[in-house]
Amino acid sequence: MRRSKVAFYGFIAPCFIAFTITVIIPFIFGIYYSFTDWNGIKSDVSFIGFSNYAEIFSDKGFGSSFLFTILFAVASVLLINIIGFTLAIIVTRKLKIQNVLRTVFFMPNLIGGLILGFIWQFIFVKVFAMIGDATGAKWMLGWLSTTETGFWGLVILMCWQMSGYIMIIYIAALQNIPTELIEASKIDGANFKARMKHIIFPLIRPGFTVCLFLTLSNAFKLYDQNLSLTGGAPRNSTQMLALNIYNTAFKFNKMGQAQAKAIIFFVVIALISLIQVYFSKKGEVEL
């Protein structure tokens, strides 16, 4: 027993030490600095209490970024899961090219966020403009110049990147359904819609829980794609929370206020994620 315990703690010690150094300690220091006037440069840091938090709630830029992030999260989470599940259904239909389709659908997830943003910026600005000029479709011109089109540009980018990744999780969930249940339902005369409603959806609820958690957390934390695609333009109307926090810290040198925003950001994401996981797991069905 002693040897097994020593081996157990010996294996987890490197990961725990690394996690403590890179996550826990910076998080504790971040909480401390959120109550100070630190600008990231000066050594004499003064404790100012809840002044940073009070200033945040009067910051219109933070409020608009918060609302924009919530709307973006709702739209992207719904679309990514719908697209990902649809792709999973398609590639599990025993097609001859199903492996090729899985590879093609998953490939965008392998591209870095900054590169994705620049690729889609070229598509929205150059390609859309060429098509718009050629066809007379005015709605394709200046795609990233307004808040509405910038919003949907970010949603399209996020869906294109994550749908293939979510597809893989849904594939695993679909393949975990016993084939006996599907065959028995077919014998009983259940059509595809009935099988989807009464067998497939209930049995892949754990997959829905995982996918909703991943897409929700990634949508709220989106930064690099936002930076490279729109940069918050026009007039910071497409600026998401992560980019707002970054600009507060490194553009305006308000590290203390940025840390306070980050703490509020963390609490909001944690609460939303925990509530989502709680309600999603309540409806799960065990085989």
221 DSSP assignment: T
Domains of the chain, by residue range, sit at: 59-282
CA atoms of 258 and 52, how far apart (whole Å): 9
Give the max Cα distance, the chain.
Answer: 76
- The DSSP string of 117-181 is HHHHHHIIIIIHHHHHHHHT-GGGTTTTSSHHHHHHHHHHHHHHHHHHHHHHHHHHHHHTS-HHH
Distance in angstroms (rounded) separating the CA atoms of residues 92 and 102: 10
Burial degree of 220 (CB within 10 A; 0-12, 13-18, 19+): buried
124/141 Cα distance (integer angstroms): 8
pTM check: above 0.85: yes
Q: What is the DSSP string of 52-104?
A: HHHHHTT-HHHHHHHHHHHHHHHHHHHHHHHHHHHHHHHHTS--TTHHHHHHH
Residue 102: how many CA atoms within 13 Å on its side-chain side?
17
pLDDT in tens, the chain (287 residues): 677 888 888 999 999 999 999 999 999 999 999 999 998 888 888 999 999 999 998 889 999 999 999 999 999 999 999 999 999 999 998 888 989 999 999 999 999 889 999 999 999 999 999 999 898 888 888 889 899 999 999 999 999 999 999 999 999 999 998 888 888 988 888 888 898 988 889 899 999 999 999 999 999 999 999 999 999 989 899 999 999 999 999 999 999 999 999 999 999 999 999 999 888 887 666 65
Name the CATH superfamily housing domain 59-282: MetI-like (1.10.3720.10)
Q: What is the pLDDT of residue 8?
A: 87
- Cα 231 to chain centroid, rounded: 18
Q: Is 36 helix (H, G, I), strand (E, B) or coil?
A: strand
pLDDT of residue 107: 93
Structure tokens at 184: 């028995």
**CB count in 10 Å sphere of residue 195:** 17
